[in-house]
Amino acid sequence: MDVDAPGGSQPGPGQDPLAVGAMHATWALWMLVALPQYTEDQTLPGVVQDACLEDYFTNLRLLIEFFHRHANPKDFHSTDYLPDFEPQTGMADKRWDDMWKFASQNVAHLSRQRVPQPDSMTLNVAAAGVGAERRVHPQRRG
């Protein structure tokens, strides 16, 4: 699957900040659509496959913060565009939190949880939306 990038250009001086935020959120959504196909593309070097996987999770984390976790007032949030927007609660809320924690521990921070245990050298990324079980981080592939 080859996916074209969303239209638009880089933000310039004087551009509406909300338009810029929308452009960044659109880009992050596009990354979630476009990157999974490259995480298992054997024609790419392993380090590129891993970079695509890490970028997928970085953008997943960004969007969870945009739609679900409105912790930083300096960041754009869904409520900047839809003031009455309320994130899902219940099981969906726990799933968002679990995915955010996973992405935070594995790509956003040098967490102790990032270090794989000898008996768990694979990562089931299907649960986080990529759709495959993968080896990640224990030994960088070349």
Contact 71, 63 (CB under 8 A): no
Q: Which of 17, 15, 7, 139 is nearest to 77 (CA)?
A: 17
Left if phi > 0, otherwise alpha if psi is -120 to 50, otherwise beta: which for 43? Answer: alpha
pTM for this one?
0.71
Question: Is the pLDDT reported for residue 119 higher than 80?
Answer: no
- Ramachandran angles phi, psi of 135, nearest 5°: -85, 130
pLDDT digits (tens, 9 = 90+) for 9-59: 555 667 888 898 899 999 999 999 999 889 889 999 988 988 898 899 899
pLDDT digits (tens, 9 = 90+) for 74-104: 888 888 898 888 877 777 778 888 888 888 8
- Ramachandran angles phi, psi of 134, nearest 5°: -135, 150
